[in-house]
Structures are given as C-alpha cells and as structure tokens.
Amino acid sequence: DTGVSQDPRHKITKRGQNVTFRCDPISEHNRLYWYRQTLGQGPEFLTYFQNEAQLEKSRLLSDRFSAERPKGSFSTLEIQRTEQGDSAMYLCASSLPGQGCEQFFGPGTRLTVL
Amino acid sequence: GNSVTQMEGPVTLSEEAFLTINCTYTATGYPSLFWYVQYPGEGLQLLLKATKADDKGSNKGFEATYRKETTSFHLEKGSVHVSDSAVYFCALATNAGGTSYGKLTFGQGTILTVHP
C-alpha cells in the first residue's frame, strides 16, 4: 500500500496527558498537511510542510501543539496537556507542489480526551 | 479570508434521482476548486477538481463547473446509486500571498443518503 498512513488510528487519553501522532506521506510527495475534523464539520487546516520546512501554521494551532517533519519524510503532531476540546479526528494529507495538485488523505487518527 | 459554504443536509434521494449539492465560495486570488468524498468508514478522496474559471471537473458521473461570476461550484449527478451514499465536501485552495499555497479550505460537508 503506497498511500498516506497514520498511526495510531485511535487514541484515548486522559485530560492533561501528552499525545503524539505520526503520518507517513506518499514517498515522492514533498508537501505534507495536517487538518483537524470535528463531528459534523469539514476538515480545518492546522499546518503544512514543504520538505522539512514548516511554512504555515493556523491560529487553531495553539502553543500546546507542535508538528515536525525532521527529514522531510514522515511527520509527527504532538499535543501537550490535552484538553477535552482537542477530541477530534486528525487528518494528514500529502501532495506534490502546486495549488491544483490533489491532496491524498490518510485514514486519520481519532483522538478522544476523557 | 477564504470560506466555502455548502447547502445544508442531509440529502435523501431515491436511486436514479438527480443530485445537486450547492457550493459557493469566497476567496482572495484565483482559487482551485475541489469536491472530496468520504465514504462510510473510509478517508477523504478527491472526487473532481477545476483549476480555472469555466473548467468542468467530472468523475464517476459527477460534474461541477467553476463559475467565477457566481463564485459557485455546484456538484451534480444525473442518476444516483445507493453506492453514492457518502459525505461530500466542497473545498478550495489559493496561493494568496504565497503562504497559503495549496492548503484546503473546506465546507461543512453534505451527507447524501440514497435509498433503493
């Protein structure tokens, strides 16, 4: 399978704990995006990378959130001191450069904060 | 800022009925427009796209035309099937200022249920 993969698929944690998600993009894609999707809503942009450089961060990405893509391949999204409002589906997508290029989405990581 | 507005759902149709899901947008620059679909239990998939005004995107019997004058990108299908039951998202991407290049702004999604 050469699609975008995410790990874990589900994460249940207690409020205040830290969590980290991983995304492996399609191998030749140099752009990687993180989105968050809450129930009944469309995905909302969080941040994106071109190779290893993080080029844009949404205001949704508070100081408790950090994302990395150290070697321009896989990426991690960490949430520190989780809150119940962080419960959502976290989606990763990758693409080739270009405004019209298709973004391929992974299956998502569903986070539940108790 | 950029925004996408979709018709409110859910939409329930009988098989072979005609489908329209309305989508309008607000954007700076010259956006590319997309329809993504999310089948039950699956991830988002691109259904079709259009990158400039008057382009028509089409796939699997679905069509949408990029209308700059009405800032719309309505999704249509002449005859739906039970297998089309899914959530449909309209989205746009712009490169305004060079820093938003490629990121997608989504509508809230429209749930489509098709009955036999």
| pLDDT tens-digit readout, A44-93 | 999 999 999 998 888 888 899 999 999 889 999 999 999 999 999 999 99
Q: Write out the two tokens for B67.
A: 């209308």
Q: Which residues contact B32 (CB under 8 A, 6 or more apart)?
A: A99, A100, B49, B50, B51, B52, B92, B93, B94
Q: Quick check: B104 and A33 CB within 8 A?
A: yes
How many percent of chain B have pLDDT more than 70?
94
Round to whole Å and give the CA distance between A29 and A73: 9
Beta bridge partners of A68: A76
Which of the four pLDDT bands, split at 50, 70 and 90, describes residue B17?
A: very high
Q: Which residue in A35, A41, A99 is closest to B102 by CB distance?
A: A99
Is pLDDT above 90 for B40? no
Percent of chain A's residues with pLDDT above 70: 96
Q: How far is A106 from chain B (nearest CA, A)?
A: 6
pLDDT score of B92 more than 60: yes
Tell me the chain B residues in contact with residue A41 when contact means C-beta distances shorter than 8 Å. Answer: 108-109
For residues A82 and A21, give the distance between their C-alpha atoms in angstroms, rounded to a whole number. Answer: 13
**B1 in contact with A, Cβ within 8 Å:** no
In terms of CA atoms, which chain A residue is nearest residue B99?
A56
pLDDT tens for each residue of B53-81 = 999 999 999 999 999 999 999 999 999 99
Please tell me the predicted confidence (pLDDT) of residue B30.
80
R_g over Cα of chain B:
14
Tell me which of A101 and A113 has the higher pLDDT. Answer: A113
Helix (H, G, I), strand (E, B) or coil at A103: coil
Contact B103 A107 (CB under 8 A): no
Q: What share of chain A in percent tops pLDDT 90?
A: 73
Residue A22 has pLDDT above 70, yes or no: yes
Distance from CA of B69 to the nearest CA of A (A): 20
Phi and psi (nearest 5°) for B98? 80, -10
